[in-house]
């Protein structure tokens, strides 16, 4: 029972972690909390849906195309909405993302309608695999595999590639990074693209469980905010740890206490973390030396 | 190599640089001296394009290319490295990653490796701290790191802003010795310093800046001898009044 709850919680947690990573990457690079992160993912998921249902593109190619589309959506979001802002303040930029979220929501409702649709995934929630006493559904298994692979790819990118290191450098000191020859504009668009891809993958993975409608990413987004707060808004590892532990915790509360409280855990955590350790589990507030 | 002609730089309505002209000849170390607020840092920032829309007047030319209106990223790619004041390392990157960022504009992997070894031979302590986060370094080590990082771009011209600020005398000596070596190996240096004595000892030429203008330009050796410079920037007072108080000369260049 316990391992069962932990494993299925971890699968949900991985989805939170993916969305939270998208939030953290953007937050670190441009100091903006991206409220549109969820609905960018929702739009990408609907695009996948259209590619599959209307255009009858094979699953693999549809997902690949949708991911490319998600990257462009993220990058264009930065180029069209944030870059033109003359004297950006964090608050102003956040308002822009809130507005953009509303626009995406409206456009998605206009194109695809507000009624719930089933996502034609190859993965089934009903098919299960057994590992000894442990039972895991096919969807959850693929969620775990895909998220772990994606996070690993991200880790390697930020650790070992020139561009990945440049993004980290830029998020620490923009002016000095420019003086190293880093083109701030393009690097920033790239980070928004990556964040959008992370959301899209989470959306595509979650769609078979939650079904499709313009509200589908609202809950995961709020959970991702909680996860990022728990792990530390400025730490990649924090987003992963926060997402994973939030998913597990939720499931344990749902399993042992009462399912009614399951949804509230996340928000309880936000409040607790902000009271006890505002920088999160792994977040750091660097003290700047002169 | 670098020609600054009659520039004016404004911070909002305030004019920080007023009609300043300056030339940095290839292969030389040129020192800019001046008190706080004279506009030394502003000159460097204007050259690097960090002040948007500035200079509002005048031209800056680097090896025949006009720099006016270029973004910092573009200016850096021409071969100018700017070592900022306050030694801003990327604190959450390791020493190695910081150096790698210094060579961001270059693509030749082998050359980069060679240059990293070269930097480590200048500053052996960086070699010992390669895997350490730069945020854990001491002030002197940070200064070494930002100079090393700038060298990784293999710049033709290096702009240095107050490399000695807040460092122990021994560390200052070491860093200036290495600046001299770097210059002898072919990098031209424009050095802004409060520590006028150290600066003039390694420099070939010097300019004294006051209120955004060049008020005195000469060979570094002659500046060291110049009575005004001795009195105001080197703190050497010649005269003592009858009552035993140090007497400051009246400045003669204004």
Q: How many CB pairs under 8 A join A and B?
A: 69
Q: What is the mean pLDDT of chain B?
A: 82
Residue B17 included in any domain: no
Question: Does the N-terminal peptide bond of residue A139 adopt cis geometry, omega within 30 degrees of 0?
Answer: no
Of A21, A52, A288, the residue nearest B87 (C-alpha): A288
Residue A288 included in any domain: no
Asked if A177 and A30 count as a contact pair (C-beta separation under 8 A), the reply is: no
Tell the burial category of B253 from Cβ atoms under 10 Å away from its Cβ (0-12, 13-18, 19+). exposed
Number of domains in chain A: 1
Q: For the residues A92-120, what does the mean pLDDT come to?
A: 88
CB neighbour list of residue B218: distance below 8 Å, 6 or more residues apart: B205, B206, B226
Number of domains in chain B: 1
Write the DSSP symbol of residue A127.
-
Asked if B123 and B148 count as a contact pair (C-beta separation under 8 A), the reply is: yes
Mean pLDDT comparison of A90-104, A122-136, B200-214, highest-scoring range: A90-104
Residue B164 included in any domain: yes
Residue B181 included in any domain: yes
Please provide the distance, in angstroms rounded to a whole number, between the alpha carbons at the two ends of chain B: 29
Instruction: Look at residue B172 in the predicted model and tell me its pLDDT.
Output: 85
Residue A233 included in any domain: no
Strands, sheet with B14-24, edge to edge from the N-terminal-most edge strand:
B14-24, B2-11, B57-62, B65-66
Residue B165 included in any domain: yes
Distance CA A173, CA B52 (A): 18
Structural domain boundaries, residue B139: 26-51+70-209
Residue A250 included in any domain: no
Instruction: Look at residue B87 in the predicted model and tell me its pLDDT.
Output: 86
B245 band by pLDDT with thresholds 50, 70 and 90: low
The per-residue pLDDT for range A256-276, each reduced to its tens digit, is 888 888 888 888 888 888 888
Asked if A227 and A246 count as a contact pair (C-beta separation under 8 A), the reply is: yes
B137 band by pLDDT with thresholds 50, 70 and 90: confident
Closest-CA residue of chain B to A182? B73
Of B71, B31, B70, the residue nearest B159 (C-alpha): B31
Residue B138 included in any domain: yes
Asked if B193 and B162 count as a contact pair (C-beta separation under 8 A), the reply is: yes
Least confident of A90-94, A97-101, A192-196: A90-94
A160 touches chain B (CB under 8 A): no
At A222, list the tokens: 């709020």
CB atoms within 10 A of CB B173: 13
Residue B153 included in any domain: yes
**Region for B208 from its dihedrals, namely left if φ exceeds 0, alpha if ψ lies in -120 to 50, beta otherwise:** beta
Least confident of A61-65, A109-113, A286-290: A286-290
Residue A281 included in any domain: no
Give the distance, in angstroms, between the CA of residue A255 and the centroid of all CA atoms in the same chain: 25
Residue B136 included in any domain: yes
Residue A26 included in any domain: yes
Identity of the residue in A165, A176, A286 whose CB atom sits nearest the CB atom of B135 = A286
B139 touches chain A (CB under 8 A): yes
Identity of the residue in B48, B88, B166 whose CB atom sits nearest the CB atom of A173 = B88
Residue A94 included in any domain: yes
Partner B, chain A 164-183, Cβ-Cβ below 8 Å: 165-166, 168-169, 172-173, 175-183
B129 touches chain A (CB under 8 A): no
B90 touches chain A (CB under 8 A): yes
The two beta strands, B14-24 and B2-11, are antiparallel
Chain A residues in contact with B105 (beta carbon < 8 A): 180-181
Partner A, chain B 158-177, Cβ-Cβ below 8 Å: 166
What string of DSSP letters covers A161-212? SHHHHHHHHHHH-HHHHHHTT--HHHHHHHHHHHHHHHHHHHHHHHHHHH-B
Closest-CA residue of chain B to A163? B104
Structural domain boundaries, residue A200: 2-215
The per-residue pLDDT for range A188-235, each reduced to its tens digit, is 899 999 999 999 999 988 888 878 888 888 888 988 988 988 888 888
Instruction: Look at residue A76 in the predicted model and tell me its pLDDT.
Output: 92
pLDDT over threshold 90, residue B10:
no
Residue A208 included in any domain: yes
Given an 8 Å threshold on Cβ–Cβ distance, is B100 in contact with A181?
no
Instruction: Look at residue A287 in the predicted model and tell me its pLDDT.
Output: 46
The per-residue pLDDT for range A32-89, each reduced to its tens digit, is 889 999 999 999 999 988 888 888 888 889 889 999 999 999 999 988 888 888 777 8
Domain CATH number, residue B31:
3.40.50.300
Q: What is the mean pLDDT of chain A?
A: 86
Residue A22 included in any domain: yes
A103 band by pLDDT with thresholds 50, 70 and 90: very high
At B246, list the tokens: 């140090």
Partner A, chain B 9-48, Cβ-Cβ below 8 Å: 48
Residue B148 included in any domain: yes
Q: Which residue has the higher pLDDT, A117 or A288?
A: A117
Given an 8 Å threshold on Cβ–Cβ distance, is B101 in contact with A169?
yes
**Region for B72 from its dihedrals, namely left if φ exceeds 0, alpha if ψ lies in -120 to 50, beta otherwise:** alpha
A289 band by pLDDT with thresholds 50, 70 and 90: very low
B254 band by pLDDT with thresholds 50, 70 and 90: low
Q: For the residues B193-222, what does the mean pLDDT come to?
A: 81
SS3 B16: strand
Asked if B197 and B174 count as a contact pair (C-beta separation under 8 A), the reply is: no
The per-residue pLDDT for range B171-188, each reduced to its tens digit, is 888 888 888 888 888 889
- Min Cα separation A290/chain B (Å): 6
The per-residue pLDDT for range A123-144, each reduced to its tens digit, is 766 778 887 778 888 888 888 8
- Min Cα separation B249/chain A (Å): 35
């Amino acid at each position: 029972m316990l391992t069962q709850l932990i494993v299925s919680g971890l699968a949900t947690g991985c989805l939170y972690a993916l969305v939270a990573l998208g939030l953290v990457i953007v937050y670190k690079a441009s100091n903006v909390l991206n409220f549109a992160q969820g609905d960018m993912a929702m739009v990408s998921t609907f695009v996948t849906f259209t590619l599959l249902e209307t255009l009858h593109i094979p699953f693999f190619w549809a997902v690949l195309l949708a991911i490319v589309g998600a990257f462009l959506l993220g990058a264009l979001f930065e180029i069209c909405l944030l870059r033109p802002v003359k004297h950006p303040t964090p608050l102003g930029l956040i308002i822009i993302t809130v507005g953009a979220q509303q626009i995406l929501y409206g456009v998605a409702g206009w194109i695809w309608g507000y009624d719930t649709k089933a996502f034609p995934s190859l993965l089934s929630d009903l098919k299960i695999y057994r590992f000894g006493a442990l039972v895991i559904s096919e969807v959850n298994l693929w969620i775990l595999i895909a998220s772990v692979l994606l996070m690993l790819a991200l880790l390697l990118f930020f650790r070992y590639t020139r561009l990945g290191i440049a993004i980290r450098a830029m998020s620490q000191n923009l002016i000095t990074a420019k003086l190293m020859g880093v083109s701030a504009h393009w690097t920033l668009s790239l980070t928004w693209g990556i964040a959008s891809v992370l959301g899209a993958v989470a959306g595509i993975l979650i769609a078979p469980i939650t079904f499709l409608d313009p509200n589908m990413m609202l809950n995961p987004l709020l959970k991702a905010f909680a996860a990022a707060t728990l792990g530390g808004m400025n730490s990649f590892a924090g987003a992963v740890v926060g997402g994973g532990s939030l998913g597990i915790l939720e499931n344990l509360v749902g399993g042992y206490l009462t399912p009614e409280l399951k949804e509230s855990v996340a928000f309880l955590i936000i409040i607790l973390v902000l009271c006890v350790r505002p920088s999160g589990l792994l977040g750091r507030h660097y003290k700047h030396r002169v | 190599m670098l020609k600054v002609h009659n520039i004016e730089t404004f911070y909002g309505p305030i004019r920080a640089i007023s009609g300043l002209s300056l030339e940095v000849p290839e292969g030389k170390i040129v020192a800019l001296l001046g008190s706080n607020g004279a506009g030394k840092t502003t000159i460097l920032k204007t050259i690097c394009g960090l002040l948007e829309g500035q200079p509002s007047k005048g031209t800056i030319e680097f090896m025949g290319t006009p720099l006016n209106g270029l973004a910092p990223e573009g200016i850096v790619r021409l071969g100018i490295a700017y070592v900022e004041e306050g030694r801003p390392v990327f604190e959450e990157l390791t020493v190695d990653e910081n150096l790698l960022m210094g060579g961001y504009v270059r693509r030749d992997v082998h050359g980069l490796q060679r240059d990293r070894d070269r930097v480590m031979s200048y500053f052996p302590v960086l070699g010992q701290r390669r895997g350490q986060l730069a945020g854990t370094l001491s002030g002197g080590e940070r200064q070494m790191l930002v100079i090393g990082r700038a060298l990784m771009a293999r710049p033709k011209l290096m702009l240095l802003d107050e490399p000695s600020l807040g460092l122990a005398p021994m560390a200052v000596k070491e860093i200036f010795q290495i600046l001299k070596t770097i210059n002898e190996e072919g990098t031209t240096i424009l050095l802004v310093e409060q520590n006028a004595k150290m600066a003039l000892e390694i420099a070939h030429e010097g300019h004294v800046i006051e209120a955004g203008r060049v008020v005195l330009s000469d060979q570094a050796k002659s500046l060291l001898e110049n009575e005004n410079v001795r009195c105001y920037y080197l703190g050497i007072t010649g005269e003592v009044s009858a009552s035993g108080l140090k007497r400051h000369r009246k400045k003669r260049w204004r």
